[in-house]
Structure 1
Amino acid sequence: MKLGDFKIHSLNGGITQIDGGAMFGVVPKALWTRKYEVNDKNQIPLPTHPILIQTEDKSILIDTGIGTSKLTAKERKNFGVEYESKIEEDLKALELTVEDIDYVLMTHLHFDHAAGLTDNEGRAIFKNAIHVIQQDEWHEFQSPNIRSKSTYWSKNDGDFKEKLLLFEKEIEIYPGIKLIHTGGHSYGHAIVTIESEGEKAVHMGDIFPTIAHRNPLWVTAYDDYPMQSIREKERLIPNFIIQDYWFLYYHDVTYFAVKFDKGNNKEIETYITRN
């Protein structure tokens, strides 16, 4: 899609199949299955789609997918991985390589967003990029607790830390492109806002992972701080709708970008699908 002077692309970072109950928490299955497809194993398709922003002089990537050959056979089975990252092929189609990425912006460092940061030797995939991460998120990744160690994987660490830029509340890494700390899904979770020539978009990461999670109360069982996720969604989603933002999705199986109706902010006004 085009946003002002920017071009925004959805890349293929690989796919997972995650338990529907985990992705919708306490929401009854009878309700969430009206909004999102599910298979006979109670799994929902949860692809990973890193978002590439091309400005006049920079190539900026949001999150990195599940990588290539990073997951064990057991992990691929448990997470329903049917295929892994195709980022390099997608970049090639845009006449780019991983070496052309100038910034990598991380909403958070759970494995399905961070496995594409490094290869199996810990070498940075995007070796020329500055990697921007919220400070608390980075420190929990380095020293996870009894709960978070299941998704902050040490094998996703590596020499990208030699080009690491930490922030606390918010940072503008390029005119019109900001990371803003929200917490909720993880303590250091961040969202990304994008603005160019009066056009606006937001990627709310995993506090709004699919359009089925539009209701502020619909948060995942993976959210470490669900009340913080609810607080942020309750305030931010209506604000972004009123200001005519596009919502960009990393995980939604169907939608890449959506605008909601200002008059009835639960209704989709316009959209861009994956295909």
Structure 2
Amino acid sequence: MRRLTSLTGNSQKLDGGAMFGNAPRALWERWMIPDAQNRIDLGCRALLVQEHERNVLIETGIGAFFSPQLKERFGVQEERHVLLDSLAEQGLSHVDIDVVLLSHLHFDHAGGVLAPWAEGQPARLLFPNARFLTGRRQWQRARAPHARDQASYIPELLDLLEASGRLELLEDDATSATLGEGWRLHWNEGHTPGQLLAEIAMPDGPVVFAADLVPGAPWVHLPLTMGYDRFAEGLIEEKQALLEHLLACNGRLFFTHDPSIALGRVVRDERGRYGLQDSQSHLVQLSH
């Protein structure tokens, strides 16, 4: 049996122009209304996959590791580590997680691996019983970042992951021995080198954790990219390939950053434009 459950993490407010790249505000504010500081609401949603008597957590969101000053700078809304509360609602804690799969190592996707900030205390890892999986090329990027994305990585987190003895770096393969059957990995470069998207087989079509290739429902529109993406044209090509794959297999996208939509099935209209149907704000699904 496989069970998929969406988990809410800490939310953010980030600049709408940065999140929508070269799209003008007159266009993107139809989808997400900015505040007085031009910021839009964003989520940091994780996906819990329970199977074969193990708990796999895909991403951990931004968490609560930032100091109060940095928390304000990056628009983190809650004081507590919200993902831990969401796990508790499922009768779990971070010690019950067997695998943490990180699409990439930017702080808004991997920061939740760290315990909440405490004055005068060093950073420390949560999830003491988990193996941490991420791509080898993304790890190399994080260890030697470009000036453009250096601030997106957490050096202390990288040191702690390496010292844990539980870090597994994945090659650019479609499968992983650790994840096993029913899992497929997609690799892309447009947002950051070696970003991996996990595809989980389900009876009514697979679910792909879209990470920052498609951060939310509006970005299903093919031309939309983020200002944070390193190579917008390449990302669009990668996105189109994934959307075509999901169309062919009746698949769905799972969104980490969309504040209100967790999941939607990929469709295409008569004009060739991609969209979603059967959107859900929360996901709980069982497979026998």
- Asked if the contact 1:253–1:274 (Cα under 8 Å) also holds between the matched residues in 2, the reply is no
CA-to-aligned-CA distance 1:54-80 (integer Å, 9 cap, x gap): 113211111111222x11223212221
- Aligned residue for 1:146, secondary structure, equals coil
- Asked if the contact 2:60–2:111 (Cα under 8 Å) also holds between the matched residues in 1, the reply is yes
Q: 1:48 aligns with which of 44, 53, 70?
A: 44
Structure 1 residue 186: deviation in Å?
0.5
- TM-score w.r.t. length of structure 2: 0.87
Matches within 5 A, 1:190-201: 190-197=196-203, 199-201=205-207
Matching residue of 1:251:
257
CA distance in 1, matches of 2:125, 2:72: 26
- Aligned residue for 1:251, secondary structure, equals coil
Is 1:232 aligned to residue 238 of structure 2? yes
Gaps of 5+ in 2: 284-288
Matches within 5 A, 1:20-169: 20-68=16-64, 70-83=65-78, 84-119=80-115, 121-161=122-162, 162-169=165-172
RMSD: 1.9
Tell me: CA distance 1:267–1:207, structure 2 relative to 1, closer, same or farther (3 Å): closer
Identity of paired residues, percent? Answer: 27
CA distance in 1, matches of 2:231, 2:127: 31
Matching residue of 2:286:
none
Name the stretch that deviates more: 80-89 or 47-56.
80-89
- Asked if the contact 2:56–2:97 (Cα under 8 Å) also holds between the matched residues in 1, the reply is yes
- Aligned residue for 1:271, secondary structure, equals strand
Structure 1 residue 274: deviation in Å?
4.1
Name the stretch that deviates more: 200-209 or 163-172.
163-172
- Aligned residue for 1:205, secondary structure, equals coil
Matches within 5 A, 1:174-193: 174-193=180-199
- Asked if the contact 1:135–1:188 (Cα under 8 Å) also holds between the matched residues in 2, the reply is yes
Tell me: CA distance 1:112–1:212, structure 2 relative to 1, closer, same or farther (3 Å): same
CA distance in 2, matches of 1:11, 1:148: 27
Structure 1 residue 122: deviation in Å?
4.0
- Aligned residue for 1:155, secondary structure, equals helix
Gaps of 5+ in 1: none
- Asked if the contact 2:222–2:274 (Cα under 8 Å) also holds between the matched residues in 1, the reply is no
CA-to-aligned-CA distance 1:103-128 (integer Å, 9 cap, x gap): 11111111111111223634321111
Structure 1 residue 260: deviation in Å?
3.0
CA distance in 2, matches of 1:261, 1:204: 16
CA-to-aligned-CA distance 1:223-254 (integer Å, 9 cap, x gap): 11222211101221122123111110111011
For 2:21, the aligned partner's letter is: G
CA distance in 2, matches of 1:165, 1:177: 16
- TM-score w.r.t. length of structure 1: 0.91
Matching residue of 2:5:
9
